Structure 1
Amino acid sequence: MAFAQTSPAGRASNLPPLGAPGLVALVVLVVGTLWLGAAYGTAQGALFLIGGGLGIALYHAAFGFTSAWRVFIAEGRGRGLRVQMLLLALAVILFFPALSSGTLFGHEVRGNISPAGIGVIAGAFMFGIGMQLGGGCASGTLFTAGGGNARMLVTLFFFIVGSLFGTIHFDWWASLPSLKPVSLYQPFGALGGIAVSLLIFAAIAALTIYVERRRHGSLEQEAPSPRQGLQRYLRGPWPLVAGAIALVTLNFLTLAIAGRPWGITSAFALWGAKGAQLIGIDPTQWAYWQTLGNAKALAASVFADITSVMDFGIIAGAMLAAALAGRFAPSFDIPLRSVLAAVAGGLLLGYGARIAYGCNIGAYFSGIASGSLHGYLWAVAAFAGNVIGVRLRPWFFFERSVPRRADG
């Protein structure tokens, strides 16, 4: 009660100084938005700023795909998974009408709809193992690295390396048997596709409730926050539901501006390819980089690439959020086995995401928001990989009581 009665001046004094990291992040977000808008168009600047918003939302809500799946597998607690179902439900309600019509606010839009086949199963399974060993998914790796987690920088580096390796073999995986790209709104229409999707999400949520009550007798409640009102949304932590709403809204804005939903990992492959060129390796000999879109991206600046710009924004946004929360304090004292797990996890994450047509964002979140069958197949295979990954974690000296806000 005393906190709630603090004067406006007192509330302002409770705000931590941004410090150098926070000021750098703020300057990068402001200057980057203006420069990108001037150099590459208003849309590119806006997408960088949306990336910043995603980084803030991911960090403050600690919206963890990895941790939510691990907690359900290891402990039978399903609150995080239920919020993911809410995320997907809100997404299909927003996305399906626009995607089925092909336009949004007068602009052409398309979904993340890819073939569903052996490559998706294998890649998502690898990605699932990598989530638990690397300590995060694609979005989790970016926002925790941006938030000052030094170990996640190792995961991110090898995520990029694994993504590059995935482009070497991409054409072979793509040649394996698969179903043609299909979305739920195509056979059922927008309303029918939404109804089918909501039934699937409700069934999964109901399953988590059954499992949790069977194991614990009651459902876990979100812990009360020590902060309220504006302080909570400025400094965190946010309620998980608020994080879900923010992510859906920002993804929908991405669809409106970029013409397609949010993705993350294609940029990692691009960064890896450009890095390979710097050390004398020519990735243009690989089929992946000979397709029109990928060849164009490789020839241009990374600042012309939508996914890269949004990824940079996520890192800067998470860095700003960590500074506002007073939690930006990188530590490089990382146990060797934890480093090895980050290396192995990063490679699996990168390779798996590339051959599976996306990650937990591009394939799972945006794929299912697009109604893509490959998104559902990805989720099943990735969950199976997470089960294996959870079993492997103790070997790498992970504590059993890892704080749930520690990774993505």
Structure 2
Amino acid sequence: MDLVPLVEHIGEAPAAALFGLLTGAVFGVAAQRSRFCLRAATVEFASGRLGDKVAVWLLTFSTAVVWVQAAQMLDLMDSADARMMAVPGSWSGAILGGLMFGGGMVLARGCSGRLLVLAATGNLRSVVSGLIFAVIAQMSLSGLLSPARDWLAGLWITEGGRNLDLLAALGLPKAGGLVLGLATAALALVLAQRNRIGAARLVFASGVGFAVALGWALTYALSQVSFDPVQIESATFTGPSAHTLMFFLDRNAVLEFDIGLVPGVFIGAMLAAALAGEMKLQAFDSPSTMRKAMIGAALMGFGGMLAGGCAIGAGVTGGSIFTGTAWAALFCMWAGAVATSMLTRDHAESLRV
């Protein structure tokens, strides 16, 4: 795609924000209609079932892997230049942060991406939890909590000044990632058939994965025509939530992909919910629910920043390019969420959103 005319007309930073807005809108529509949620999938798994929520998550994850790996084979992107692959990763951060994030999303009844989607539909619980998440994430990035995050992340980092490419480390061929994605997609479709998931929901679940690939491809294409360095990235919500919050508080903040992503998700989800007649104001059920949600949001804010990404950023976006610490974080998010769900023994309530 020729982005030169667009970049020359509006500039590199606005173009990046526009691509973030587009990626976010696709993500928001697809996530709202498919009810995609890692928290719901892990809680369902903890209850001993491989139901519709696990199937939707697996289909989203596998779709992202298939699209991204296919894009790499077609030279539409290069994961070696991606920000999360080109810098050292933290194994300790992935493990500790992943466990915290997993537990937090069960308490908050939604991961950070799901909270944003629900907030767009009128869920006031998610608005409160999302704001706490964004504030704690910002404090962990450059505020009072940043020294603790830096110390924990520095306990165990990847070698060689870069993150670990799992495909290369395992000696798999270039098509190995694509094959793994297709196999996972087949498993997801088998589970979908067993749970009688409708075609429309499957299409939208695939759309969430496509949004991740879209973000990768757009930022890579922009980096090829920009004079200044451009971060090659895609959907994630820990850093972008903090950056978007500061964008509206700091007059000197600049446009970037992150600044378009969060509003894009909100707009997309709100339009999808409005067209489906699913806009509805919802509040906390009880003071105890509110306390758990606030604690969970804080755990996600710090844990996500420590892990190098949220359930989407590490779990799907980082996983789709086989970043070593992203896969470690994803595994620990599942472990933390399953353990928290079993300890709270509140599966029925936790499955509600």
* Band of TM-score, shorter chain: 0.7 to 0.9
- Contact in 1 for aligned 2:32/2:272 (Cα 8 Å): yes
- Contact in 2 for aligned 1:98/1:109 (Cα 8 Å): no
Unaligned 5+ runs, structure 2:
1-5, 221-232
Aligned to 1:221: 196
The reply on whether 1:309 has 2:260 as its aligned counterpart is: yes
Report the CA distance shift for 1:57/1:202 in structure 2 as closer, same or farther (over 3 A): closer
Alpha-carbon separation, structure 2, partners of 1:109 and 1:117:
20
Q: Which among 60, 82, 96 is matched to residue 110 of structure 1?
A: 82
* CA positional deviation for 1:96: 2.7
Provide the identity percentage.
Answer: 25
Report the CA distance shift for 1:198/1:379 in structure 2 as closer, same or farther (over 3 A): farther
Report SS of the residue matched to 2:312.
Answer: helix
Alpha-carbon separation, structure 2, partners of 1:390 and 1:403:
8
* CA positional deviation for 1:183: 1.5
- Contact in 2 for aligned 1:107/1:256 (Cα 8 Å): no
Aligned to 1:332: 283
Aligned to 1:60: 33
Aligned to 1:188: 172
Alpha-carbon separation, structure 2, partners of 1:333 and 1:250:
31
- Contact in 2 for aligned 1:109/1:256 (Cα 8 Å): no
The reply on whether 1:133 has 2:107 as its aligned counterpart is: yes
Q: Over the residues paired in the alignment, what is the CA RMSD in angstroms?
A: 3.4
- Contact in 1 for aligned 2:90/2:153 (Cα 8 Å): no
- Contact in 2 for aligned 1:112/1:366 (Cα 8 Å): no
Equivalent pairs counted in the alignment come to 321
The Cα offsets for residues 71-96 of structure 1, whole Å up to 9 and x where unpaired, read as 12124234432333333333223323
Structure 1 residue runs of 4 or more that deviate by more than 6 Å after TM superposition: 105-108, 202-206
Alpha-carbon separation, structure 1, partners of 2:101 and 2:244:
19
* CA positional deviation for 1:109: 5.4
The reply on whether 1:373 has 2:352 as its aligned counterpart is: no
Which has the higher mean CA deviation after the structures are superposed, 76-85 or 377-386? 76-85
Alpha-carbon separation, structure 2, partners of 1:107 and 1:371:
9
Residues 38-57 of structure 1: pairs in structure 2 closer than 5 A: 38=10, 40-57=13-30
Alpha-carbon separation, structure 2, partners of 1:254 and 1:111:
13
Amino acid at match of 2:39: T
Aligned to 2:213: 252
TM-score between both structures, scaled by the size of structure 2: 0.79
Alpha-carbon separation, structure 2, partners of 1:152 and 1:198:
34
Which has the higher mean CA deviation after the structures are superposed, 165-174 or 58-67? 165-174
Amino acid at match of 1:191: A
* CA positional deviation for 1:121: 0.3
Residues 4-403 of structure 1: pairs in structure 2 closer than 5 A: 38=10, 40-96=13-69, 98-99=71-72, 103-104=75-76, 110=82, 112-113=84-85, 115-167=89-141, 168=146, 169-180=148-159, 181-186=163-168, 187-195=171-179, 201=184, 219-222=194-197, 238-239=200-201, 241-259=202-220, 260-271=233-244, 300-301=253-254, 304-332=255-283, 334-393=285-344, 400-402=347-349
TM-score between both structures, scaled by the size of structure 1: 0.69
The Cα offsets for residues 109-147 of structure 1, whole Å up to 9 and x where unpaired, read as 526436251111000000000111111112101101111
